[in-house]
């Protein structure tokens, strides 16, 4: 698949080009050329967990990597974070090549510029919540005063301030994962890697934490690489989603792009189970305004599901769809919602 571009308005924060990761005999040896890695992958003795992956991830973007078990999601995340070394290809953070960086410099970049949150929370059982959050700051030699301040801010942001003195065993799974998130945020990195962070949680708590992440992101504007095998979660939290199969990217796009124009049958299968009203934005379903004055309005950025109540209050519409500055960008009614969800225009043509 060709290299994808970051959304126009974002600066590229993290990128990778032509990443391959081979496992098997002698697979630790880096390949000197693309031809070499391709022939090693093709000879049958090595297994390609990643094949030719190129991506640009924009600053402040939540970039979701989604795919079934074994598709290469964690390997991609680990290569981007340089926790494993790609067999071939280049990874750049803020324009600096991580793949060519020495170990000492890489360690510094990891300590200061990256945060990690994993499925199994990885909390130390004998340390309190505050102690766990402070640990990476202690390791990097932060002074007590700035450390305490960073810990208090991270606990406040994640709603844990009242639990600072508890031990992990005294917390629910969801609360423990909040501590994992707080610990990553306290380091103050611009870049967060989240590998299936909510997968161990029950659906209600999971949803609560997804909302929490979206809320936090609205104020923090971090760049996040978020791995999940749950398509609904991907389209809910992602600004863009990459869908992987067999170590390759099958499609990269906004949730709306993916649900409206799945690249192939593999992607279409995921889309089949998704509530489209929670993905498609009001601006996408809007048609030209038929008047200048409306009694009810919704934001174009909101999802169709967010407009349901307003539409009901307006007897089915039409209601105004507004831009971020309050300007009128069009109107929707129940028919427009149905048309968008069924992928048809009002005339019955594909939308
Ligand atoms: N250290 C390793 N040695 C050999 N093969 C590996 C290694 N790590 C991963 N693989 C293989 O690479 C492929 C991709 O694994 P990866 O963990 O990236 O998948 P994933 O999409 O994250 O799966 P899951 O959702 O189950 O975590 C799998 O077939 C896996 O067995």
SS3 state of residue 187: coil
For residue 67, the ligand 1 atom closest to its alpha carbon is 21
Tens digit of each residue's pLDDT (9 = 90 or more) over 136-145: 888 888 888 8
What Cα–Cα distance (Å) separates residue 183 from each residue in 27, 129, 150, 174?
Answer: 34, 9, 10, 14
Q: How far apart are CA 272 and CA 294, in angstroms?
A: 35
Confidence of residue 344 (pLDDT cuts 50, 70, 90): low
Pocket flag, ligand 1, residue 73 (CB < 6 Å): yes
Tens digit of each residue's pLDDT (9 = 90 or more) over 12-64: 999 999 999 999 887 788 888 989 999 888 887 889 999 999 999 999 999 99
Residue nearest atom 7 in ligand 1 by C-alpha distance: 23
- Give residue 172's pLDDT: 86
Q: What is the mean pLDDT of residues 330-339?
A: 92
Average pLDDT, the chain: 88
Q: What is the mean pLDDT of residues 232-244?
A: 94
Ligand 1 centroid – CA 344 distance (Å): 39
For residue 78, the ligand 1 atom closest to its alpha carbon is 18
Interstrand relation of 114-118 and 191-195 (parallel, antiparallel or unpaired): parallel
Q: Retrieve residue 152's tokens.
A: 């208090």
pLDDT surpasses 80 at 155: yes
User: How far from the centroid of its chain's Cα atoms is residue 158's Cα?
Assistant: 18
Q: What is the mean pLDDT of residues 122-135?
A: 92
- Give residue 322's pLDDT: 94
pLDDT surpasses 80 at 325: yes
Tens digit of each residue's pLDDT (9 = 90 or more) over 181-231: 888 888 878 899 999 988 877 888 888 888 888 888 888 889 999 999 999
What Cα–Cα distance (Å) separates residue 12 from each residue in 95, 111, 161, 194, 326?
Answer: 8, 21, 34, 19, 29
pLDDT surpasses 50 at 7: no
Tens digit of each residue's pLDDT (9 = 90 or more) over 158-170: 888 999 999 999 9
**108-127 burial: b if 16+ Cβ within 10 Å, else e:** ebbbeebbbbbbebebeeee
The interface predicted TM-score (ipTM) is: 0.97
Pocket flag, ligand 1, residue 317 (CB < 6 Å): no
Q: How far apart are CA 99 and CA 78, in angstroms?
A: 12
Ligand 1 centroid – CA 110 distance (Å): 22
Pocket flag, ligand 1, residue 248 (CB < 6 Å): no
With beta carbons less than 8 A apart as the criterion, state whether 176 and 168 touch.
Answer: yes
- Give residue 5's pLDDT: 40
pLDDT surpasses 70 at 6: no
What is the value of pTM for the model shown?
0.88
First CA to last CA distance, the chain: 26
Q: Retrieve residue 283's tokens.
A: 């601006």
SS3 state of residue 172: coil
Tens digit of each residue's pLDDT (9 = 90 or more) over 50-98: 999 999 999 999 999 999 999 999 999 999 999 999 999 999 999 999 9
Residue nearest atom 26 in ligand 1 by C-alpha distance: 69
- Give residue 1's pLDDT: 45
Instruction: Please give the residue that has the higher pLDDT: either 9 or 240.
Output: 240
Pocket flag, ligand 1, residue 188 (CB < 6 Å): no
SS3 state of residue 159: coil
Confidence of residue 256 (pLDDT cuts 50, 70, 90): very high
């Amino acid at each position: 698949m060709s290299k994808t571009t970051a959304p126009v308005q974002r600066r590229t924060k993290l990128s990778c080009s032509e990443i391959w990761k081979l496992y098997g005999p002698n697979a630790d040896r880096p390949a000197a050329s693309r031809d070499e890695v391709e022939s090693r992958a093709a000879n049958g003795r090595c297994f390609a967990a990643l094949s030719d992956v190129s991506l640009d991830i924009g600053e402040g973007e939540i970039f979701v990597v989604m795919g079934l078990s074994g598709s290469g999601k964690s390997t991609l995340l680990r290569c981007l974070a340089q926790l494993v070394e790609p067999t071939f290809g280049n990874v750049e953070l803020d324009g600096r090549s991580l793949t060519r960086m020495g170990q000492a410099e890489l360690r510094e970049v990891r300590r200061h510029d990256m945060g990690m949150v994993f499925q199994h929370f990885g909390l130390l059982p004998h340390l309190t919540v505050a102690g766990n959050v402070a640990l990476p700051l202690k390791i990097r030699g932060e002074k007590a005063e700035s450390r305490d301040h960073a810990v208090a801010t991270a606990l406040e942001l994640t709603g844990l301030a009242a639990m600072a003195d508890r031990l992990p065993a005294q917390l629910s799974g969801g609360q423990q994962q909040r501590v994992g998130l707080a610990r990553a945020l306290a380091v103050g990195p611009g870049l967060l890697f989240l590998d299936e962070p909510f997968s161990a949680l029950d659906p209600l708590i999971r949803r609560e934490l997804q909302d929490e992440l979206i809320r936090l992101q609205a104020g923090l504007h971090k760049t996040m690489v978020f791995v999940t095998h749950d398509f609904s979660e991907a389209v809910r939290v992602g600004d863009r989603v990459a869908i992987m199969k067999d170590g390759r990217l099958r499609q990269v796009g906004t949730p709306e792009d993916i649900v409206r124009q799945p690249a192939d049958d593999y992607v279409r299968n995921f889309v089949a189970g998704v509530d489209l009203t929670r993905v498609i934005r009001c601006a996408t379903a809007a048609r030209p305004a038929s008047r200048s004055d409306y009694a009810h309005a919704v934001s174009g950025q909101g999802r169709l599901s967010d407009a349901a109540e307003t539409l009901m209050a307006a007897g089915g519409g039409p209601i105004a769809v507004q831009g971020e500055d309050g300007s009128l960008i069009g109107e929707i009614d129940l028919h427009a919602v149905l048309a968008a969800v069924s992928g048809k225009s009002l005339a019955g043509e594909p939308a």
